Structure 1
Amino acid sequence: MFSGKVVLITGASSGIGAATAINFASKGALLALTGRNASNLQKVAQQCEEKSNIKPLTIIGDLTIDSDVRNILDTTIKTYEKLDILINNAGILATGSIEDTTVEQYDEIFATNVRPVYLLTNLAVPHLIKTKGNIVNVSSLAGLRAFPTVLTYCMSKAALDQFTRCVSLALAPKQVRVNSVNPGIITSDIHVRSGITEEEYPEYIRRMASIHPLGRVGQPEEVADAIVFLASDNASFTTGETLCLAGGRQNCCPR
């Protein structure tokens, strides 16, 4: 399905990014994978190679550093000479309400979840126009619904969703599609990295399962399937979409 297509995925060393990389690899894509954890990134690259017999390009980089963002795009183009699909997946989570967050947390969240997406997309657009490619941003249910205890995260994902809509309109005349996926709770290490301990995590997942109408949380592979769909020709008439993957939670009233 993606044979010969060049796919750049940020945050590819774990969670949704890793599952997405493996999914694209199984469909013959040429991959450029980036992340900060070199060991994990190499493990994901090896899994991808086992799926396709094609070794992915791996680029270690910190998306909060502009020169790293530019290097990620430049290295991808230098290696493959084109770009067909950009997956803006990397992001962090932080907790707190207006009463106990800080402007430093706000700056950190936006410096990771929003600014690099803007810069990398800006740099990638000329190449995507050449290939009539597309972009999939990994947002969150928190971009579509309000949750008071993850204020800065909600704000950053709402900004990402509006970015998706605005850029989709700007690039539609050039036949470049732009969409987002908006997952609910997905099993990944993002929650542990945001402060939940490994001991607390199983109970957290059990509690989150109870607030999703389907009675469970989601898996990274389920989000990866949606990303691959939006990036494929099967979604050729879809742009500006924010696709909710939340087990029905988006329709719930507070309780």
Structure 2
Amino acid sequence: MSAPPASPSILGASLRGKVALITGASSGIGAGVARYFASLGCRLALTGRNMDNLQAVVEECIERGLERDLVNNAGTAFFDAIETLSLENFDTTFAVNVRAPLHLTHLLTPYLIASKGTVVNNSSVYGIRAPPAALSYGASKTALNHMTRCIAEELAPHGVRVNAVNPGIIPTKITARAGLSDEQDQEWMEFHKKTHAMRRTGTVEEVAKLIAFLASSDSSFTTGENFLADGGNHLLVTTLD
């Protein structure tokens, strides 16, 4: 009798023991990615702007198996349109969402080449479709998506892969930081359930799993791609009742 087929390896298992630098790890998707990577056995360097939140995330990561911690980071948004545009907010958005990941990738390029590492940029469905009342944010995420393609093409000969994830609406603190009250934020989230073909918003865990796939050797022949994790938000032209 032949031996039973070997069970498939756990998705993302190749990340065990690898070092991952996760920016914006004090809340939202960044915190979710940190927790998930810790559960896969990664060694993490975490950055974030809220040190109290960041320390809480570090402690959660340790509970999930993190061997050691490093700390400090960002991602920002404003509600604006062409008639209400503030150049100060525009500059801030691009500084955080485009310039920071560009500069960080530039600084880390020698190490990425030496280690045949990977880069996963956290973008947005609004980098692919026009967002309502978020002109600067949408423009910054479009720039990040194209930057991903450009850097991927440059680094591919060195064995370095660069991809981006474009989530749909994920309940995080970013809308509150953009100026919404708790009540407005809840109304905004309820409304946007209708803008997704799956009739719901996503979770940080769903995005974290896609990021882990792209960071791991499970996606070893994939680079320069912008992956949607948006519950079909990009499919809809009009809002559904």
Question: Same fold by TM (over 0.5)?
Answer: yes
- DSSP-derived class of the 1:216 partner: coil
- Residue in 2 that maps onto 1:253: 237
- Residue in 2 that maps onto 1:155: 139
Contact 1:26/1:51 (<8 A) preserved = yes
- Residue in 1 that maps onto 2:204: 220
Aligned partner letter, 1:15: G
Q: Which residue of the other structure, out of 162, 171, 175, is the alignment partner of 2:159?
A: 175
Deviation of 1:5 (Å): 0.4
Deviation of 1:192 (Å): 0.7
Aligned partner letter, 1:102: S
- DSSP-derived class of the 1:181 partner: strand
Contact 1:12/1:44 (<8 A) preserved = yes
Q: Which residue of the other structure, out of 20, 27, 32, is the alignment partner of 2:40?
A: 27
Deviation of 1:202 (Å): 1.8
Aligned-pair identity in percent equals 47
- Residue in 1 that maps onto 2:126: 142
Aligned partner letter, 2:51: A
Deviation of 1:53 (Å): 4.8
- Residue in 1 that maps onto 2:10: none
Q: Alpha carbons of 1:92 and 1:53: their partners in 2 closer, same or farther (altered >3 Å)?
A: closer
Deviation of 1:3 (Å): 2.1
**Alpha-carbon distance in structure 2 between the residues aligned to 1:94 and 1:53:** 34
Q: Which residue of the other structure, out of 219, 232, 237, is the alignment partner of 1:235?
A: 219
Deviation of 1:228 (Å): 0.3
Aligned residue runs from structure 1 range 45-124, under 5 A: 45-58=58-71, 60=72, 90-124=74-108
- DSSP-derived class of the 2:163 partner: strand
**Alpha-carbon distance in structure 1 between the residues aligned to 2:179 and 2:113:** 40
**Alpha-carbon distance in structure 2 between the residues aligned to 1:47 and 1:224:** 15
- Residue in 1 that maps onto 2:31: 18
Aligned partner letter, 2:78: A
Aligned partner letter, 2:22: I
- 2:173 is the counterpart of 1:201: no
- Residue in 2 that maps onto 1:164: 148
Deviation of 1:55 (Å): 2.7
Aligned partner letter, 2:54: L
Note the aligned Cα RMSD (angstroms).
1.1
Contact 1:45/1:55 (<8 A) preserved = no
Deviation of 1:104 (Å): 1.1
CA deviation map 1:160-218 (0-9, x unaligned): 00000000000000010000000110010001110111122222211111111101000
Contact 2:39/2:66 (<8 A) preserved = no
**Alpha-carbon distance in structure 2 between the residues aligned to 1:156 and 1:203:** 25
Give the unaligned 5+ runs of structure 2.
Answer: 1-12
**Across the two proteins, how many residue pairs are aligned to each other?**
226
TM-score normalised by length of structure 1: 0.86
- DSSP-derived class of the 1:35 partner: coil
- DSSP-derived class of the 2:180 partner: coil
Q: Which runs of structure 1 show a deviation greater than 2 angstroms over 4 or more consecutive aligned residues?
A: none
**Alpha-carbon distance in structure 2 between the residues aligned to 1:213 and 1:54:** 40
TM-score normalised by length of structure 2: 0.91
